[in-house]
Structure 1
Amino acid sequence: MPALADPAELERRLGRPLTPVEAARAGALLDDASALVRAYTGQTFSRVDDDQVVLRAQQGEIRLPQRPVHDVTAVVAIGAGGAPDLPVVGWQWDGLDILRTMTDSPVINLPELWYEEDVEAYPGTYRVTYSHGDATVPADVIAVVARMALRTLTAPTVAATVTSETLGPYSYRTDGSGAGTAVVMTDDDRQMLKLAGYRPAAGMSLVRRR
C-alpha cells in the first residue's frame, strides 16, 4: 500500500526542503509510520470499491471494519460441512457501519431441507460486499504519520533509541523512543487516532479478507 503521507508533507512541517540525506530516508520512514498507523487502526485509509470481507455476526449484527462505508451490495451466509453459501435477504444497513440480519440466527430464508436437517451448517459467518474508504487520506492521519517520521528523521543521531548532540564544550545524551532508525508510535499518536475515531470498535470479529 502507498504511504499515508509524502515527503512534501515533511518539508511543509520543517519549513525547508529535505537535505539529500533526509530525502534518501524519508520514503522508508513514511512507509514504516504508515504501516504502524494501519496496524493500530485497522483502517486502510484508501478508497476500495466492491471489497469482499468475511465477518462473524454478533447478536444479529455485523460491524463493517473499514470506514467510511459508501454502500453495501451483497450479504451471503457461508455454509459449512457441505452446505451451500446462500444470499441473505432482508438485511439492513444503518448508513454507517452496522449491518442487521433481522434475526439472531444465521439461518435466514434457507431452503427448508437445510433448515430442518442441519441448522448448524450456518455458523454465523457472512461474506459482505461493500465499498469504503476515503478518496484522499484524512488530514489528521497525515499529521500523525508525518510527525512519526519526522521524530526519527530529525534525530541528531541514527543510533536507535539514542539522541545526542554536542554544542561547543557542552553535550547531552538521552534515550529517546523513536529516535534513530526505528519509527515508533507514541501514546500521543495513539490518543490522537483514537479521539478521531479510527480505533477499531470493541467486539468486532474479522475472519478474513479477499
Structure 2
Amino acid sequence: MAVLPSLATVADLAATLGRTFTPEQEAQAQALLDQASSIVRAYVRLDITRATTTDTFPMRRSDRQHLGAPFDHARHGQVTLPQRPVEEVATVKVNGTVTHDWWVEQNELFLRSVPWLGPPGAHQAPRVEVTYTHGWSPVPGDIQAIVLQAANRVIVNPSGIRSETVGGVSTTYLIPATGENLGVLLSRTEMRVLDRYRRTASSVRLRSV
C-alpha cells in the first residue's frame, strides 16, 4: 500500500510559526506532520488526499428505487465506495468482466441487475472491482489547519508543561485550558471540526491493488 503524504508541509508549518527550521528541525517537523496526518486520517476514516484506487467489494442487492436513473430497474446491485468525495469512476468489473451498466450517486455505485451465482456458489455475492479517483486537491483548509496545530503543540511545548517559573520569570505554555497535554492528538474542538468529514459507515473491502 502506498504511503500517503502528510496533509500539510514543513513549509506550511514554518510559515505558521514565522521561523526558519534547521535541517534537524525540518526532520522533526516532518515526523510530527506525518503523525498528525495519520491521526486525522484515522479519525475521519478517509485518505483525504486525491488519489486513484482499485478495490474489490462484494455487491449487495439494492431495493432503492431510482426514478429517472440511467438504468431504471427494480433489481439492481449496489456498492458503497469507502473513499470520498468520489471524483471519477474509471472502470467497473463484475466477476472479472468489464461493465458499463452503472451510475454513481455521491459515493454509491449502482449496477443494473446482475444475476447472483447459481449453485454451488448461490450464496456468494458478485465481486465488483472498481477503479476510482477520490479525495480533495488541495487538502481542505480546516483539515490542514488542524494538522498544523497538532504539530505546533509539540514544537512549542515539547515537554507538555503548562507553566513554569525560572529566575522569577513565569512562562505559560499554549495547551488546552484543561491542562491536558495532547501532543499530536486531537482536542474535542478539533474533532468537532473534523466530524463534517468523518465517514461513519464503511464498505467491506476484499482486496486492494
TM value normalised by structure 1: 0.72
Matching residue of 2:33 = 30
Matching residue of 1:55 = 57
In the superposition, relative to structure 1, how do residues 136 and 192 fare at CA in structure 2: closer, same or farther (>3 Å)? same
Alignment identity in percent? 29
Once residues 27 and 100 of structure 2 are traced to their aligned partners in structure 1, the CA distance between those partners, rounded to angstroms, is 54
In the superposition, relative to structure 1, how do residues 26 and 203 fare at CA in structure 2: closer, same or farther (>3 Å)? closer
Structure 1 unaligned regions, length at least 5:
79-84
Matching residue of 2:180 = 176
Query: Which residue identity lines up with residue 75 of structure 1 in the other structure?
Result: V
Matching residue of 1:150 = 152
Count of residues paired in the alignment: 185
Does 1:97 pair with 2:101?
no
Instruction: Please say if residues 77 and 122 of structure 1, whose CA atoms lie closer than 8 Å, have aligned partners that are also in contact.
Output: no
Instruction: Please say if residues 89 and 109 of structure 1, whose CA atoms lie closer than 8 Å, have aligned partners that are also in contact.
Output: no
Q: How does 1:77-96 map to 2 (within 5 A)?
A: 77-78=94-95, 85-88=96-99, 90-94=101-105, 96=106
Query: Which residue identity lines up with residue 82 of structure 2 in the other structure?
Result: P
Q: 1:68 aligns with which of 58, 72, 85?
A: 85
TM value normalised by structure 2: 0.72
Once residues 170 and 25 of structure 1 are traced to their aligned partners in structure 2, the CA distance between those partners, rounded to angstroms, is 28
Instruction: Please say if residues 59 and 125 of structure 2, whose CA atoms lie closer than 8 Å, have aligned partners that are also in contact.
Output: no
RMSD of Structure 2 on Structure 1 (CA): 2.9
Query: Which residue identity lines up with residue 17 of structure 1 in the other structure?
Result: R
Structure 2 unaligned regions, length at least 5:
63-77
Once residues 19 and 194 of structure 2 are traced to their aligned partners in structure 1, the CA distance between those partners, rounded to angstroms, is 28
The Cα of 1:162 is off from its aligned counterpart by 4.5
The Cα of 1:8 is off from its aligned counterpart by 2.6
Higher helix fraction (1 or 2): 1
Matching residue of 2:137 = 135
Instruction: Please say if residues 3 and 30 of structure 1, whose CA atoms lie closer than 8 Å, have aligned partners that are also in contact.
Output: yes
Once residues 164 and 13 of structure 2 are traced to their aligned partners in structure 1, the CA distance between those partners, rounded to angstroms, is 22
Instruction: Please say if residues 7 and 49 of structure 2, whose CA atoms lie closer than 8 Å, have aligned partners that are also in contact.
Output: no
Once residues 56 and 201 of structure 1 are traced to their aligned partners in structure 2, the CA distance between those partners, rounded to angstroms, is 19
Matching residue of 2:208 = 209
Query: Which residue identity lines up with residue 139 of structure 1 in the other structure?
Result: G
Query: Which residue identity lines up with residue 200 of structure 2 in the other structure?
Result: A
